[in-house]
């Protein structure tokens, strides 16, 4: 007799989805979480809770034409067709069913984000909770878990090993408590939902050297536990150079300044008062350009209209509360705030105005502007950051971990522990694909494990 039917390691979005999908009457699920701080400190809790799904009922209600095939095409375009085709197809296909399940079975209060589109998405397809906060999404999942009789959350308990039988199939897992004591649980299925390796500086230097000098802004427990297990068990890994960066982490407060500031019409300048690229290519690939500015800093400049549009984000309200938004009545005052030469800044504002008004083309090729900015101007000082890694264990369409191309019976990976759908580097990341890989692979893993 097994101690449980499914053991899930890690209680972020991936682990919660796996545990909830695996839990059903008569099937015992153990969800082991390493950190007491996971309600605030997991990546999921820190996120903006954007979940892309193409062909959802929310899109239909809003009259948005979209389909999994169109979403897949966007992913292929953003990744320059260097994405894991099996995982990308599985996640884009399951996404509409996933958001239905999150709302109907797990009670997550989802809505479609209709006020702006993130870079690379050709349709409005990000779903989120009302205050666009990962903590609220995570809380809803925890509440759903509390309602399931056969789902047992154990905190703190760290997965340190997976046991397999002579044929290579999973037969158990080893958990370690903070006092060093260990417990072995017998079970035929283990889901690795321990996120990636972005909190391990050595692994980051090895696999992601271009962002190793950036600020890390993600969960402290993302230390590559699944990757170390993969090395020990000889599991397949891939896309280890893939990551989500971000070009606007407010400094010194270390709070995410939403890229909605840019998509509504804002832009970035450095201390010379000049822009340095087309910001609408994406926030992930903007981390390194920001880091290469003087002092590794830049300013996001926008106006009151943009400010009002961003208030829907809990993160943005936190940026405001921290006093990080500086206001300036005119170009002179803005130059003083930025410590930039007035002439250069005035020329930048004039050029941006002309591009946003459609009277001239942008020198960097930016075509999406919202509307021209009008004084008073707002400015937030930002730096480039690493948010999470997007490479990991290779999986099949059921989230089963592969070894030499074949599924390991009973072993699954989801979220940051598994390969993502962002191709290589930073520029393949589309907004929401972190949580889609977490919730989607978790859902697929949990369902398959329990079937």
Where on the chain is the footprint of ligand FAD (CB under 6 A)? 9-15, 32-35, 38, 42-44, 46-50, 158-159, 193-195, 217-219, 221-222, 225, 244, 256, 387-388, 415-416, 432-436, 438
Strand partners, 383: 249, 297
Chain residue at closest Cβ approach to ligand FAD: 12
CB of 364 to ligand FAD, least distance (A): 25
The token pair at 55 is: 């062909």
CB of 365 to ligand FAD, least distance (A): 26
Sheet arrangement for strand 126-128: 51-52, 126-128, 111-112
CB of 39 to ligand FAD, least distance (A): 9
Which of 40, 31, 29, 129 has the alpha carbon at shortest distance from 432?
129
CB 58 within 8 A of CB 112: yes
- Pairing label, strands 29-32, 6-9: parallel
C-alpha 352/C-alpha 356 separation (Å) is 6
Q: Which is nearer to ligand FAD, 9 or 338 (CB)?
A: 9
Q: Which is nearer to ligand FAD, 13 or 449 (CB)?
A: 13
CB of 85 to ligand FAD, least distance (A): 20
C-alpha 421/C-alpha 49 separation (Å) is 17
Q: Which is nearer to ligand FAD, 43 or 348 (CB)?
A: 43
Q: Which is nearer to ligand FAD, 249 or 335 (CB)?
A: 249
Q: Is 74 helix (H, G, I), strand (E, B) or coil?
A: helix
CB of 289 to ligand FAD, least distance (A): 19
Q: Which is nearer to ligand FAD, 11 or 349 (CB)?
A: 11
Q: Which is nearer to ligand FAD, 355 or 408 (CB)?
A: 408
Q: Which is nearer to ligand FAD, 273 or 440 (CB)?
A: 440
CB of 367 to ligand FAD, least distance (A): 24
The token pair at 5 is: 């039917």
CB of 376 to ligand FAD, least distance (A): 28
Query: What's the gap between Cα 36 and its chain centre?
Result: 21
- Tally of CB atoms within 10 A around 82: 13
- CA distance to 222, 225, 290, 388, 430, per residue, from 216 (Å): 11, 18, 14, 8, 19
CB of 405 to ligand FAD, least distance (A): 24
Q: Which is nearer to ligand FAD, 38 or 267 (CB)?
A: 38
Which of 144, 126, 118 has the alpha carbon at shortest distance from 58?
126
DSSP 288-335: HHHHTSGGGEEEEEEEHHHHHHHTT-HHHHHHHHTT--EEESSHHHHH
């Amino acid at each position: 007799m097994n101690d449980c039917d499914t053991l899930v390691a890690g209680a972020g979005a991936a682990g919660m989805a796996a545990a909830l999908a695996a839990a059903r009457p008569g099937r015992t699920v153990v969800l082991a979480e390493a950190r007491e701080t996971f309600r605030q400190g997991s990546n999921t809790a820190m996120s903006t809770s954007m979940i892309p799904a193409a062909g959802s009922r929310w899109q239909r209600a809003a009259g948005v034409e979209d389909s999994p095939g169109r979403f897949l095409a966007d992913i292929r375009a953003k990744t320059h067709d260097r994405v894991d085709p099996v995982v990308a197809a599985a996640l884009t296909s399951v996404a509409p069913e996933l958001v239905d399940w999150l709302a109907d079975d797990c009670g997550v209060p989802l809505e479609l984000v209709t006020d702006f589109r993130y870079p690379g998405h050709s349709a409005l397809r990000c779903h989120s909770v009302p205050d666009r906060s990962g903590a609220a999404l995570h809380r809803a999942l925890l509440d759903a878990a509390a309602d399931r009789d056969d789902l047992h959350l154990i905190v703190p308990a760290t997965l340190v090993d997976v046991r397999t039988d002579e044929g290579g199939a999973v037969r158990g897992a080893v958990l370690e408590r903070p006092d060093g004591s260990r417990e072995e649980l017998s079970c035929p299925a283990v889901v690795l939902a321990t996120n990636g390796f972005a909190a391990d500086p050595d692994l980051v230097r090895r696999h992601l050297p271009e962002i190793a000098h950036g600020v890390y802004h993600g969960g402290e427990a993302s230390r590559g536990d699944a990757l170390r297990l993969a090395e020990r068990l000889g599991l397949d890994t891939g896309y280890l150079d893939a990551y989500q960066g971000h070009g606007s982490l407010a400094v010194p407060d270390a709070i995410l300044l939403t890229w909605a500031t840019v998509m509504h019409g804002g832009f970035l300048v450095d201390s010379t008062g000049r822009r340095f690229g087309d910001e609408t290519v994406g926030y992930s690939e903007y981390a390194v350009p920001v880091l290469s500015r003087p002092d590794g800093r830049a300013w996001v400049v926008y106006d009151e209209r943009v400010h009002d549009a961003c208030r829907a984000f809990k993160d943005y309200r936190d940026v405001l509360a921290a006093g990080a938004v500086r206001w300036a009545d005119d170009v002179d005052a803005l130059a003083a705030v930025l410590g930039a030469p007035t002439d250069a800044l005035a020329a930048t504002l004039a050029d941006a105005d002309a591009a946003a008004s459609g009277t001239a083309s942008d020198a960097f090729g930016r075509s999406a502007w919202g509307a021209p900015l009008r004084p008073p101007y707002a400015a937030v000082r930002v730096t480039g950051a690493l948010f999470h890694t997007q490479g990991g264990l290779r999986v099949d369409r059921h989230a089963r971990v592969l070894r030499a191309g074949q599924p390991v019976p009973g072993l699954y990976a989801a979220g940051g522990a598994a390969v993502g759908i962002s191709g290589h580097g930073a520029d393949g990341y589309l907004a929401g694909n972190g949580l889609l890989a977490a919730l989607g692979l978790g859902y697929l893993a949990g369902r398959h494990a329990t079937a």
